[in-house]
Structure 1
Amino acid sequence: MKTLARLFILVLLALQLPLLAADKKSVVMIAGKPSHGPGAHEHNAGVLLLAKCLRESAGDQVEVKTHLNGEWPSDDEIAHADTILIYADGYTFHPAVQKDRLSQLAKEMKRGCGFATLHWATEVRKDKGGAEFLEWMGGYCEPFWSVNPHWQADFTQLPVHPIANGVHPFTTHDEWYFHMRFKAGMQSVVPILSAIPPATLKLPDGERSGNAEVRQEVADRLPQHVAWATERADGGRGFGFTGGHDHKNWGNDDQRKLVLNAILWTAKLPVPAIGVQSKVTPEELLANLDPKGKK
């Protein structure tokens, strides 16, 4: 009888495992190809680090799938994703604007899939992805409107929002893009990280270096939103984060927590009141860096 009872329990567990897996949210993370110098635009290492943290802290809630070096997920994987995160070069190099991928993603956004982009992946051309990113994330980095200086951003206040759960004020020096193109009147857009940039726009006006509008806002010392969230009419959620040029900043507990929180939130999962807890050792921070030589 004991043997039969054990066998019955094992059968029940075996039947429940697929159900438990089905209950997990699918997080698809796409890392772009190697780019820039050592320690910068470390898309592969950044995605793998964030994925590690998610698996360790929320492995019972999410199934994380990573795609490295610009690899695009299968159609089936995209179709079943609860949220899609892209950390890659943007503009015309953006993975999402290649082939017919904007149309593919649009189909998934309509069913309520989440969408998040980090650093340069927040940028697409106005005439190639701009309208889509504006809808999916509530804002994006638009050439000839947004700028990309390196500066020290001091985030002194955070909003009452699940993405900010457990995140303390922090400061990092990074290539914080700002002056995003947001929906008119910031409709359905919630600023998550905002700071006042210094007068760093010393280059002539250009695609990413400056324009009359942004220069006036800098002169007026208006806070610039460098991370934001939106809840779309289709039920989906979007998140943009313009930091992430310098890989070392993923070692900042608050920056990392904020992005991990955002991944859960865009997947429509509850974010712990203390935020997603994670630890990263110096060795883990240096793991999986692209072979770019010495800095």
Structure 2
Amino acid sequence: MDRIFTFILSFILLCNIANAQVKPTARETVAKKRIIFIAGPDSHGKGEHEHNGGCTLLAKALNDSLPGVEAIIVRNGWPPDESVLDNAAAIVFYLDGGGSDHLELVHAAKMEKLIADGTGIVNLHFSLEVAAEAGGDRFLKWIGGYFETNWSVNPVWEASFARFPGHPVSRGVKPFTILDEWYYHMRFAPGMKGVTPILQALPPESTLDKPDGTHSNNPAVREAVITRKEPQTLAWAFERPDGGRGFGFTGGHMHKNWQNDNFRKLVLNAIAWAAKTDVPAGGVPSATPTDNEMNALTKRVN
């Protein structure tokens, strides 16, 4: 009898071990998708270009709402140990751009490797500006568009968005109107190949009342907006030929705009989409930040 009991017990133990081997825990089978925010130093005055505060708010919303996501913030520029970017599902850049010293160009070799690995790339506001001769072609490859000096313009104006395409980035977003420094007349991939406009609006002629300049006005933008009345694309989704994804969002100058539920939801949706995470039917949910919460995220300068 003892021998039979011992045999049965041994058999049960072996079955349990086998089950443990073929049925790993949920934590082991479902690895969280890592989204890395690269927040540049805050610039301008308080309430403008609040890169750290904006990234803190967006990362928290993603972590709170999407169990399959882990959002991590790298502050004050490129990470000292860039291995943190390895295996990232998406990287969000919210920082000052400009010329050939743009962080994405300085680290172009790493960027190209990330792109080859399928990493999604999201660029918000000023990070969309890059010197055409130094990195225009790279940005067209990475996210499908960019701000080009002497072609694009950056006025502050109130844009209204009444319709959205049937795209995951638009899920749950309702019509809204908001004042921001909306860049437009962006440079896009030839034929808009791979580009889906998400936000479009026709800027008022008053946005082109300044003299010609690198960021203010030029004959081409006047022809497009004043003469041809062409709606301008202010945010777009991009599907790379290799299957990777990119997103460009020209707003984000004013920190207070993150309190607008539709403005915030669209960007959260876009980040999730770029990371190839399912966007909920009603969009990525998040609570409206209070004034106190917003103020706590701003830099302490006048």
Tell me the TM-score normalized by structure 2.
0.89
Equivalent position to 2:297, from 265, 285, 288? 288
Write the mapping of 1:115-134 to structure 2, written as runs, cut at 5 A.
115-134=121-140
Which residue identity lines up with residue 76 of structure 1 in the other structure?
Answer: S
Q: 1:61 aligns with which of 68, 79, 91?
A: 68
2:270 corresponds to: 262
Percent identity between the two aligned chains: 48
Conserved 8 A contact 2:148-2:186: yes
Per-residue deviation, residues 223-275 of structure 1 (Å, max 9, x unmatched): 00000011101110000000000000000000100000011100011111100
Distance 1:116 1:73, change over 3 A: farther
Q: 2:285 aligns with which of 273, 277, 283?
A: 277
Amino acid at match of 1:213: A
- Partner amino acid for 1:285? M
For 1:250 and 1:125, locate their aligned partners in 2 and report how far apart those are by CA, in whole Å: 28
Aligned positions of 1:10-159 closer than 5 A = 16=25, 19=28, 23-58=31-66, 60-72=67-79, 74-92=81-99, 94-98=102-106, 101-159=107-165
Q: Which entry has the higher C-alpha Rg, 1 or 2?
A: 2
Q: Indicate whether 1:211 and 2:205 are aligned.
A: no
Q: Distance in 1 between matches of 2:25 and 2:248?
A: 36
Gaps of 5+ in 1: none
Shift of 1:217: 1.4
SS at match of 2:73: strand
RMSD: 2.3
1:242 and 2:250 equivalent? yes
Task: Point out the more displaced range, 279-288 or 226-235.
Answer: 279-288
SS in 2 for 1:239: strand
CA distance in 1, matches of 2:80, 2:37: 9
Residue 231 of structure 2 is matched in structure 1 by 223
Following TM superposition, by how much is the alpha carbon of 1:18 offset from its aligned partner in structure 2, in angstroms? 5.3
CA apart distance, 1:281: 2.7
In structure 2, stretches of 5+ residues that fail to align are 1-12
Which secondary structure does the structure 2 equivalent of 1:276 belong to? Answer: coil
Instruction: After TM superposition, give the deviation of residue 136 of structure 1 in Å.
Output: 0.9
Please state how far the C-alpha of 1:51 moved relative to its aligned partner.
0.5
CA distance in structure 2 between the partners assigned to 1:227 and 1:73 by the alignment: 30
3-state DSSP of counterpart to 2:196 = strand
Alpha-carbon distance in 2 for matches of 1:236, 1:81: 12
How far residue 202 of structure 1 moved from its aligned partner, in angstroms, is 1.4
CA-to-aligned-CA distance 1:175-230 (integer Å, 9 cap, x gap): 00000100111111000000010111111111111111101112132100000011
Q: State the secondary structure of the residue aligned to 1:86.
A: strand
8 Å CA contact 2:260–2:288 kept in 1: the answer is no
TM-score where L is the length of structure 1: 0.91
Asked if structure 2 preserves the Cα contact closer than 8 Å seen for 1:153 and 1:172, the reply is yes
Identify the range of structure 1 (134-143 vs 281-290) with the bigger mean alpha-carbon deviation: 281-290
1:67 touches 1:73 (CA, 8 Å); kept in 2? no
Structure 1 residue 16, shift from structure 2 partner: 3.2
Q: Give the letter aligned to residue 82 of structure 2.
A: D
Shift in Å, 1:288: 2.2
Dislocated runs of 4+, deviation >4 Å: none
Aligned residues: 284
More off after superposition, 215-224 vs 29-38: 215-224
Give, in whole Å, the separation in 2 of the partners of 1:73 and 1:272.
34
**Partners of 1:102 and 1:129 within 8 A in 2:** no
